[in-house]
Structure 1
Amino acid sequence: MADDLSKKITCTVEEEEKPSGVHVMMNLPAYAVNFLPAFRGMLSNHDGGETAPNFPVKAYCYLFAKAHQYVPEKWYEQRAQEMVREFLREEEASIDLIHHVRTVSSRKEMFCVQLNLSWDFLFKKETDAVLKRACEDNDKDLMESKKKKLE
């Protein structure tokens, strides 16, 4: 994806149309939110040109919001937003829309969170150690939550 997007950004041929936008679907609701940090620095090895591109990069992240006890309906939408914010800060991606897709079961709702990814975020240069540590921390948290469920 990074290579395709980079080609569109750096295209100099006049006949080639610049995209009106880029749309990324993340339709694996049980895991998609965990992959949001992969966008950070996705284009760091590519030349962004002198000016920032003038088209948006939108990500549509499907996810499940679950509760362990009865909660008001509005809680699920707030939880969906919190789940995204655990992985992406406000300046990295704005949330354009949180759409309720369906009720999966009692206390489990499916949402699609529409994000507008910032170009600074996509071109951000971070050391591998920082990225690796962030992934390891997320993996540890995920493992701990899975252990608790098994006990």
Structure 2
Amino acid sequence: MGAPRWLTATEQRAWRAHLALHKLLMHRLDRELSDSGLSLNDYEILVNLSESEDRRMRMSDLADATIQSRSRLSHQISRMEAKGLVTREECRVDRRGTYAVLTDLGWQTTQEVAPGHVASVREHFIDRLTDEELAELDRLYAPIIERLKKLR
């Protein structure tokens, strides 16, 4: 295996800056969403379902889309079912499959919360960068994201 390739000072600063940005931004967005009774995980699930055909997704596809284990997603969906935001339905074609389905209350909640959430994303991230910097971030992150998706 050989000696470890320790991070250079520049690499260390970049890595730690990435970690700090991610943690601080997710913490801020989660806190702001909590005023509506949602977590950032709840919101991500609501958005995925709201953007899906018939506002439903197979649980396995939703777990992949939200980068969660099936077990963790199942617990999250149970909490959201208790709030009336989603329901589960059996898949008629494949009895082993289950759908997560956005309820009318879940759709209404998404519609009410989305404008404030988007404003927060703009305030804390998007509006802090130029269009060129955003395009550069997208270009830089894309190959890393694709590689990590293949490793899942």
Structure with more of its chain in helix, by fraction? 2
TM-score, normalised to structure 2, is 0.29
Structure with more of its chain in strand, by fraction? 1
TM-score, normalised to structure 1, is 0.29
Higher relative contact order structure (alpha carbons within 8 Å, sequence separation ≥ 6)? 1
